[in-house]
Chain A
Amino acid sequence: MTDLERHDYDVVIIGAGGSGLRAAIEAREQGRRTAIICKSLFGKAHTVMAEGGAAAAMGNANPRDSWQVHFRDTMRGGKFMNNPRMAELHAKEAPDRIWELETYGALFDRTPEGKISQRNFGGHEYPRLAHVGDRTGLELIRTMQQKIVSLQQDDFAATGDYEDNLKVFSECTVTELLKDSSGRIAGVFAYWRETGRFLVFCAPAVVLATGGIGKSFKVTTNSWEYTGDGHALALRAGSTLINMEFVQFHPTGMVWPPSVKGILVTESVRGDGGVLRNDTGSRFMFDYVPDVFRKQYAETEEEADGWYDDPDSNRRPPELLPRDEVARAINSEIKAGHGTEHGGVFLDIATRRSPEFIHKRLPSMYHQFKELADVDITKESMEIGPTCHYVMGGVEVDPDTAAAANVPGLFAAGEVSGGMHGSNRLGGNSLSDLLVFGRRAGSGAAQYLARIGTDRPAVSEDDVTAARNRAVAPFGREGGDNPYSLHQELQQSMNDLVGLIRTAPEMREALSRLQLLKDRAATLTVEGHQQFNPGWHLALDLRNMLLVSECVARAALERQESRGGHTRDDYPTMSAEWRQVNLVCSIAPAGDGIELAHQPLPKMADDLIRLFDRGELSKYLTPAEMAALPVGVQD
């Protein structure tokens, strides 16, 4: 194939968000020639939108904080479905990863002693989120982008070429992973968005850092990039996805005007004193504290308000419950007829904090509401409602090396990986997850290369031809659907039928609609040419969205309980038996369908289990598990 661009690398990283960049830095620092591929321009990945902060038990705001407390909070937030080893590594390593960013030039907000300031967030026992106003993700991505440039400058000084050992291929989309005859990763197939030209990267190690799947839902905080590409690539390459039924609906998205519906309103508004009210002005969250959390949350407004200044003698306000609880509570208020004019509830910071405080702590929220909704949040309440935000599910990985299941040479980190957050992610735990497991993936890839030595895989030319034919297929057809309308139908179905509250009949309906959409997607027609053609790009992304949506719907139908980011109207309670089960999706041997299997959840090590008392464990574990607890667990 003559018009095909070819590159050779040691490590190819798909994704330039927090996890991809951290992986690239690590692989490069371990001496590996590394390529970063991303769909948008460099510096625009989803991570840039993160607002609130990155959770790490540095203990700057409250010296009682430690990795053990962070670990406990993470497990509670995930309702004990987390991969405990991942949660442990995350809690232990997050502080070092944050401090390291300062050596790259990051400028976090400071405490009076000049340390990194830490803010409160839902589900975190102590103020724990390192932050920069409400634009922490921007700081993270820019810092690492600049670190990459710094590594390139070192190479320039040594070789005269900035891009010799570390190069960013931006506005370039990967459509397939390529394997050698023995089933190991051999490279990737991609196209330039600008020209439509195809590329092949030969590389023994590939890191998936592609982020989430939210663009399959209508109301979402996620951008066009979140089409689940990495999830689908992993599946098609023979790896597995876990926890796909767990999708986080953020409690506070904008609801008005319609064109901004879904855009995130950061949790920091609540962390910094904002409260939720219904149409009567009542702080309804006090009515929604579930039993498992009763001990940690305030029962009166006085106690809740006292907590901001004196957290040692007051319990936390219920507005800061984990996201799944808050989202369900808001949903119930709206359903009960206590919503606002535009179908949300009120988020009030105006009556609680001074305009100066709001401008200082929440500048981009002020800006966002002023510009997009004509609302001055220092004077009026915001109208908010749940919005699809994050997928807990993802590629099944080895916690220590980030190696993906079943496919040698494949790694995954960040939102595309599964297990770390269990059934529900705590705010701020994603940014730190990106750093901890991004680094581990980069290092896992480097170690893998050392292991295979000179035995490098070869790309099969037949696979390249097949990949190319699949990519151009939509141009050759006539009379099929337009990708935009198909996408809208998919989003509507997922939103209505596999959303925040789920039932079996609705999910069955979703699955049959997905099947019809899949059939129609096979005959999609695209107009125009290959040069920067968004219609074509969407047509290729749709294949991934449909596959991943099927995983979500299948797993959600299977799991007969409610837990974290999976709420069943027909099975409203948590089941200790189901906690022991990970649902694993793989591609069916024939065709493009999904197979679902039950797999035991990895066990918590004894020293980790001793961090909890029996009373708390009994809310999550089966009687048999309780009977088998190690010695030394407190009552």
Chain B
Amino acid sequence: MTYDAHFRVWRGDTDAGDLQDYIVEVNDGEVVLDVIHRLQATQTPDLAVRWNCKAGKCGSCSAEINGRPRLLCMTRMNNFGADETVTVTPMRAFPVVRDLVTDVSFNYTKAQQIPAFAPPVGVAPGDYRMAQVDVERSQEFRKCIECFLCQDTCHVVRDHEENKQAFAGPRFLMRISELDMHPLDSRDRKLEAQDRHGLGYCNITKCCTEVCPEGIHITDNALIPLKERVADRKYDPLVWLGSKIFRRGSSTGGARTPGA
């Protein structure tokens, strides 16, 4: 089946922009990204959009379709009626660069601030032994394709620019949780999750989980367990004391606990 669809696409740049109307052909089996590409090829060659894999694997083509954060390449056109207007806008939580392309550097900055995997001391490469059940928990989070749709959705930053400094967002809190659950990671990450990366801002609304194209249970499997472990830590007076003493001398970057 081929028909002409009504598309409204946000066009503009850092200064100004608005929704523009297009009538464009749609064929059987197509996804929204196909239609955007057809617009580029036939009507508006300079329409800016990010994409790579066209198969939901790279997380490049994030945008909002009829107001909902989604991957353009995994949204089938048969989700919409032939007479329905399809509105495509850039992710709202990030500054626009041009058209559907946003400045997602916020996410890379946050990624840089999460202390890296701390390998176990004294275990040679090749000698790592981990049970499948133990790696599976972190593996779920490592399915993340860094589309940043969860970051775009989370109400803590979606309309609150002022929280961006203190809050790493679901993707990167999940990264802390992933490392915390890694069977061989040797760093204690619980307090820093709370104190430096803003875990406390999350009030477990699960909006992030709902938009995740990988179906990762961000809230239930990563954030809530992390909160629970943080709570355990905070109420343990000995750990509390120890961590305070350690923190005074440490810098904010990736410096690792000596000997840990």
Residues of A within 8 A of B (CB): 40-44, 46, 48-49, 58, 95-96, 99-100, 102-105, 107-110, 112-115, 117, 132-133, 135, 138-139, 142, 146-147, 149-150, 152-154, 156-157, 162, 194, 223-225, 256-260, 263-264, 364, 367-368, 371-373, 482-485, 488, 526-529, 531-536
Contact = CB atoms under 8 A, between A and B. Distances in A.
Contacts of A113: 129
Interface stretch (B107-115, B150-158, B204-212): B107-115
Contacts of B116: 105, 146-147, 149-150, 153
Contact of A150 (B46, B47, B128, B254): B254
B55 to A, nearest CB: 5
Nearest to A113: B129
A132 to B, nearest CB: 7
Given A115-B129, A372-B76, A40 B253 contact: no
B253 A48 contact: no
Given A99-B125, A99-B128, A135-B57, A194 B97 contact: yes
Contacts of B144: 142
Interface string B95-130: 001110100100010011011110100000110111
Interface string B120-146: 000001101111100100110011111
Contacts of A109: 132, 135, 139
Nearest to B144: A142
B76 A110 contact: no
A259 B135 contact: no
B31 interface: yes
B126 A223 contact: no
B230 interface: no
B72 interface: no
Contacts of B20: none
Interface stretch (B22-30, B80-88, B218-226, B233-241): B22-30
Contact of B98 (A117, A526, A531, A536): A531
Given A44-B58, A49-B53, A107-B130, 17 more contacts: A40-B50, A43-B146, A44-B60, A48-B58, A107-B139, A110-B132, A110-B135, A135-B57, A138-B57, A138-B145, A153-B112, A157-B251, A372-B55, A484-B45, A532-B99, A533-B45, A535-B40
A563 to B, nearest CB: 31
B41 interface: yes
B134 to A, nearest CB: 8
A146 B142 CA distance: 12
B202 interface: no
B182 A105 contact: yes
Give the residue among A105, A133, A154 with the most B Cβ atoms within 10 A.
A105
Enumerate the 4 nearest inter-chain pairs by beta-carbon distance, A residue then B residue, closest first: A257-B29, A153-B254, A105-B117, A150-B116
Contacts of A536: 46
A107 B138 contact: yes
Contacts of A117: 132
Contacts of A99: 125-126, 128
What band does the interface of chain B fall in when counting residues whose beta carbon is under 8 Å from A?
35 or more
Contacts of B168: none
Contact of B50 (A41, A102, A364, A531): A41
Contacts of B56: 364, 367-368, 371
B112 A162 contact: yes
Contacts of A105: 116-117, 119, 179, 182, 185
A114 B53 contact: no
B68 to A, nearest CB: 16
A370 B119 CA distance: 38
B59 interface: yes
Contacts of B132: 109-110, 112, 117
A130 B144 CA distance: 19
Contacts, number: 185
Contact of A259 (B29, B40, B46, B57): B29
B142 A139 contact: yes
Given A43-B146, A157-B254, A260-B29, A48 B129 contact: no
B255 interface: yes
B31 A259 contact: yes
Contacts of B253: 153, 156-157, 162
B110 to A, nearest CB: 11
B143 A150 contact: no
A224 B57 contact: no
B10 interface: no
Contacts of B97: 194, 532
Contacts of A41: 50, 60, 104
B2 to A, nearest CB: 11
Interface string B156-198: 0000000000000000000000010010010000000000000
Interface in B1-29: 13, 27-29
A102 B128 contact: yes
Contacts of A535: 40, 45-46
Interface string B35-74: 0000011000111111111111111100000000000001
Interface string B226-260: 00000000000000000000000001011100000
A96 B59 CA distance: 30
B255 A44 contact: no
Contact of B48 (A264, A373, A532): A532
Residue in A115, A147, A371 with the greatest tally of chain B CB atoms within 10 Å: A371
B46 A528 contact: yes
Contacts of B146: 43, 142
Contacts of B29: 256-260, 372-373
Contacts of A157: 251, 253-255
A260 B37 CA distance: 13
B57 A100 contact: no
Contacts of A147: 116
A223 to B, nearest CB: 4
Contact of B45 (A95, A259, A527): A527
Contacts of A224: 51-52
A359 to B, nearest CB: 12
Contact of A533 (B48, B52, B54, B119): B48
